[in-house]
Amino acid sequence: MKQSSKADDVYATPRHVAIIMDGNGRWAQRRMLPRSHGHKAGVDALKKTVRAAREFGIEYLTLFSFSSENWSRPEGEINELFALLRLFIRRDLAELHNNNVCVRIIGSREGLPSDVLNLLVEAEILTQNNNAQTLVIAFNYGARDEIARTVKLIASKVVNDEITLDEIDPQIISDHMDTHDIPDPDMIIRTSGEKRLSNFLMWQAAYSELVFVDCLWPEFGKTDLSDCLVEYRNRSRTFGGLVKDTAS
């Protein structure tokens, strides 16, 4: 069994958990229901998970809700996903705010319907001073898009003499990503049995523990999150170094 202590905090509760919430469509199809029912059930799982993460003391929870590649889905499905986001913010923002949750949105703000953009901004502004937990919603998010936007931003600062070429290093890049004020995820969970990142947090995932679970997202709940935390504690995080006991 792995020895851990309070000081050994890489084995404690992860500070930041990110989730690729996958399998809504298959959940519905298995029940002979339209995919939209799967997305609705997915929102219920999302709410349960936000609550459970708070109870487990997870400081940052990032949820992959809509990828920059999800635009390739049928228009009707995209409209349903946007409608669910609108409903979630309208109905649940007050509860999140009352629970002292800070909402942050990552992803491109280009191409979003203006009312959705306004709701996202409203959620960020209302909750910006909350500090019990940060809920990061990755919406219209793709890691390659984020990296491209970051490169553009840094290049424009070089052109304007705000940064020199020599100053560009991994820290400067991190400081210009959408996640500049959010620690890297300690653990990334993906449901539905798929084992890939699908363009999620590729820069930030350098040393994240990847946990793949077979259940479909609408089935995911507190017990599954708890199992993932156990799995995380059984991992050995060395960040390129050596396991403590073997270093001499």
- Closest distance between Mg ion and the C-beta of residue 69, in Å? 10
Contacts of ligand IPE in 5-24 (CB under 6 A) = 20-24
Neighbours of 150 (CB within 10 A): 20
Residue closer to ligand IPE (CB basis): 24 or 134: 24
Residue closer to ligand IPE (CB basis): 20 or 101: 20
Sign of the alpha-carbon torsion through 196, 198, 200, 206: positive
Phi, psi of 113 (to 5 degrees): -55, 145
Report the C-alpha gap between 61 and 188 in whole angstroms: 10
- Closest distance between ligand IPE and the C-beta of residue 195, in Å? 10
- Which amino acid type is present at position 32? M
Q: Choosing among ligand IPE, Mg ion, none, which partner's interface includes residue 60 (Cβ < 5 to 8 Å by kind)? A: none
Contacts of ligand IPE in 193-222 (CB under 6 A) = 194, 196, 198, 217
Neighbours of 69 (CB within 10 A): 13
Phi, psi of 161 (to 5 degrees): 60, 25
Cβ-proximal residue to Mg ion, closest one: 22
Q: Which of 16, 18, 25, 101 binds ligand IPE (CB under 6 A)?
A: 25
Asked if 230 and 187 count as a contact pair (C-beta separation under 8 A), the reply is no
Under DSSP, the state recorded for 57 is T
Q: Does 22 bind Mg ion (CB under 5 A)?
A: yes
Q: Which of 60, 64, 220, 232 binds ligand IPE (CB under 6 A)?
A: 64
Residues of this chain that interact with ligand IPE (CB under 6 A) are 20-26, 64-67, 70, 81, 192, 194, 196, 198, 217
